[in-house]
Structure formats: C-alpha cells, structure tokens
Copies of this chain bind each other. A is one copy, B any other.
Amino acid sequence: MVIKMQAEALDAFMHEVFEQVAEDFAVEEVCPGEITVRLRVTHKHLRPGGTISGPSMFALADVSAYLMTLAMIGPEALAVTTNCAIDFMRKPAAGVDLIAKGRLLKLGKVLSVSDVMLYSEGMEEPVARASLTYAIPPRRGV
C-alpha cells in the first residue's frame, strides 16, 4: 500500500472540508494502513466530572478512520461512514488529550473497514474501541 496523503496533506484537507472541527484534531503519524490522531481536548469535549463525552470519542474514531482511508485513496470528501460499532470501556483520564490509533483492515473498491483504539495520552489501557465502515465513491480510472 502506497500512502497518497501524508499527515500534513490530511491536516490541510481537514481544514478545507471540515473547517468547523479541524482545530480539534491533529494527525500525528501516518504509516501504510495505520494512523495516529490526537483530539485536543478542550472544555467543549467534557462532561461534568471532567470526563470526555461519548460524541467526542465517536468523532475522534470517525475522523481517524476517514483520514486513514483518504491517506490510501487520496482526497475524497464524499467517502461516507456507513457503520460504526463502538465499545466504551474505561473513563478517560481528566486533563489529557485523547489519542486514536487506527488500522485499515480492508480497502476494497466500494468499502473500507478500519478499527480504532482510543487512549488517554500516556495510559496503556484503551478507553474505547471502534470499528468503522466507509463507502467509497466510484473512482475515476478505477
């Protein structure tokens, strides 16, 4: 698998198409079939008690799987999530960012399948786990 978009290109693309939330996320690393994405946790992501909200965790898993797919197929704003299964396993630690580690399990012609583990930065045990399917729009020349 050849990487078509590196971390900088993915960040730039995110700022272009998801301008509203692009500041929340930072692509830390892209390898063939793997990605690391940071959620810069701010007040808006929190719930009382300092824990990170479920929708914020979902958003991080979703954007990570999306960017990992784009890293492999190139900029396709039209790829859409069709399915996500997510397990919330532990309370995220207060005061630290959330780090997503994604793996691309399948890159087919019409579907990509990924799984993503979410960690409180510096912790060993995952706070959540997600698997996601993306529908890839028909590609020119494929």
Interface residues, chain A, with chain B CB atoms under 8 Å away = 17-21, 44, 46-48, 53-56, 58-59, 62, 77, 80-90, 105-106, 110-111, 113, 115, 125-126, 129, 131, 133, 135
State whether A111 touches B82 (Cβ < 8 A). yes
- The residue on B at minimum CB distance from A110 is B110
Considering the chains assembled together, what is the distance between the CA atoms of A93 and B21 in angstroms?
21
State whether A87 touches B113 (Cβ < 8 A). yes
State whether A83 touches B81 (Cβ < 8 A). no
- The residue on B at minimum CB distance from A77 is B48
Considering the chains assembled together, what is the distance between the CA atoms of A21 and B45 in angstroms?
10
Enumerate 14 A-B pairs (CB-CB under 8 Å) in ascending A order. A19-B48, A20-B44, A20-B47, A54-B58, A54-B84, A55-B55, A58-B84, A82-B111, A83-B85, A87-B133, A89-B105, A89-B113, A111-B135, A129-B131
